[in-house]
């Protein structure tokens, strides 16, 4: 596997899978958060700085065929501003115009293809009518997988080198994230700087861990985090549980949770995690107080109770101050910290204090020498909103991909290049 640091792109065209799946304002269609665009700049500038040219591929949203609202056009002005140069745009990633533009691309130039998910071949998921039989589904999937290879091969002909710098989609076996790598020799396919940084940060947490190691798992559902929690139980000293999933654990331990979110079909799973943590000597830490609301609404009435004594008709939507204090003490004594998922309903300001408190605690622990890795939409949003991103060791851009890597799964986009 080639390393981008030492590779010379002079005179070569590189087709680069980036992750420009950025949020857009619903009215103006302007980019509201350019984090992912900025994350790709170092790789793009390395290619053009060497005297090569870059052809960028990305998706945006989940379109079902070409849809203007999922066009990558709004990304162009932001990318051009950051690069300080004109970026060419191919309105049809697989069309004759795109192929001609790629062929005519000069050293130092950058072009971007339109949303690759405008083609069902990218994801390899056929769009079938309701009521399709199993045989029809199987046949359609096989046909689309064959077309996926054709799409990947066609795109590969645009360039001499393939660079994958989209960690956010590395867990997907798509045409532009994995299949395309097969059409380049080993010495002409590599990761970009962003993926290299992501892998280095996660490997430091999983393989080069400095103790004590504390993992903070938040979010709504136990079922979403069960695999990563089970994998972490073999590694962590402390496991902090927060967010909506807390109440499933509290219920299985006999607590009153009112109308709080609870996965009744996951109670045995939660019980199993508690037992495994005890067996492995992991310090499993739950909130001690709950900020409760009488309805799921930003203007709801609120009262605070013990975490295991929520009144009937009320629901827990955040952790309280005592929990923030408890968690912060554990975090401050840690040398390695992994945080994924909010402590409450972070999108409502009335219920975002818990998440902000943990963000502050992680930043302070990092200031004092801990290595911290933060990933997942609301966790990342919290450190960004509070201006703490520069005080976190690494802020991951790949929520789902990060979780699957932490679960110990092989990611198709990584395996395609690293070959493991």
Mind telling me the catalytic residues? 36, 221, 377, 400
Report angle CA 39, 45, 51 to the nearest 5 degrees: 155
Nearest to 57 by CA among 155, 149, 125: 155
How far is Cα of residue 8 from the mean position of the Cα atoms in its chain? Answer: 30
> First-to-last CA distance in the chain?
11
The secondary structure of 174-201 as a DSSP string is -TTTTGGGGGS-GGGEEE-HHHHHHHHH
Encoding tokens for residue 266? 């996951």
Q: Which residues pair with 371 in a beta bridge?
A: 336
Burial class (CB in 10 A: 0-12, 13-18, 19+), 393: middle
Quick one: angle between helices 353-367 and 377-385, nearest 10?
A: 70
* Residue 4 contacts residue 190 (beta carbons within 8 Å): yes
Q: What does residue 84 show for φ and ψ, rounded to 5 degrees?
A: 70, 35
Place of tokens 């790949």: 398
User: Cβ–Cβ contacts within 10 Å for residue 186, how many?
Assistant: 11
Q: Measured between alpha carbons, how far is 35 from 381 in angstroms, rounded to an integer?
A: 11
Q: Measured between alpha carbons, how far is 388 from 359 in angstroms, rounded to an integer?
A: 8
* Residue 358 contacts residue 318 (beta carbons within 8 Å): no
């Amino acid at each position: 596997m080639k390393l981008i640091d030492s590779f010379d792109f002079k005179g070569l065209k590189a087709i680069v899978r980036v992750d420009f799946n950025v949020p857009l304002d619903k009215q103006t269609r302007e980019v509201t958060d350019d984090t992912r665009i900025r994350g790709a700049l170092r790789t793009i500038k390395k290619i053009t700085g060497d005297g090569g040219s870059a052809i960028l591929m990305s998706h945006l949203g989940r379109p079902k065929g070409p849809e203007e609202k999922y066009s990558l056009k709004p990304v162009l002005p932001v990318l051009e501003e950051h690069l300080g140069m004109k970026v060419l745009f191919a309105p049809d990633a697989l069309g004759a115009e795109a192929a001609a533009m790629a062929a005519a691309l000069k050293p130092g130039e950058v072009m971007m293809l339109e949303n690759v998910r405008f083609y069902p071949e990218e994801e390899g998921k056929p769009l079938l009518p309701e009521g399709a039989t199993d045989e029809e589904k199987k046949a359609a999937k096989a046909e689309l997988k064959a077309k996926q290879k054709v799409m990947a091969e066609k795109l590969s002909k645009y360039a001499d080198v393939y660079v994958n710098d989209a960690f956010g989609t590395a867990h997907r076996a798509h045409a532009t994230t994995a299949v395309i790598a097969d059409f380049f020799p080993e010495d002409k396919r590599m990761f970009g700087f962003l993926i290299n940084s992501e892998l280095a940060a996660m490997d430091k947490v999983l393989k080069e861990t400095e103790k004590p190691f504390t993992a903070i798992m938040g979010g709504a559902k136990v079922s979403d985090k069960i695999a990563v929690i089970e994998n972490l139980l073999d590694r962590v000293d402390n496991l902090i549980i927060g967010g909506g999933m807390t109440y499933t654990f509290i219920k299985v331990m006999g607590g009153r949770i009112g109308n709080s979110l609870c996965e009744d079909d996951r109670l045995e799973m939660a019980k199993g995690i508690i037992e495994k943590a005890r067996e492995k000597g992991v310090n499993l830490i739950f909130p001690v107080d709950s900020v409760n609301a009488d309805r799921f609404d930003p203007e709801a009435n609120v009262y605070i109770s013990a975490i295991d004594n929520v009144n009937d008709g009320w629901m827990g939507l955040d952790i309280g101050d005592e929990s923030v204090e408890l968690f912060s003490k554990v975090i401050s004594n840690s040398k390695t910290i992994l945080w994924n998922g909010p402590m409450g309903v972070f999108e409502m300001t009335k219920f975002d204090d818990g998440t902000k408190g943990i963000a502050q605690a992680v930043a302070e622990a990092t200031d004092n020498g801990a290595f911290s890795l933060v990933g997942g939409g609301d966790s990342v949003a919290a450190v960004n909103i509070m201006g703490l991103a520069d005080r976190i060791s690494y802020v991951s851009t790949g929520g789902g991909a990060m979780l699957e890597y932490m679960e110990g799964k092989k990611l198709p986009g990584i395996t395609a290049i690293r070959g493991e």
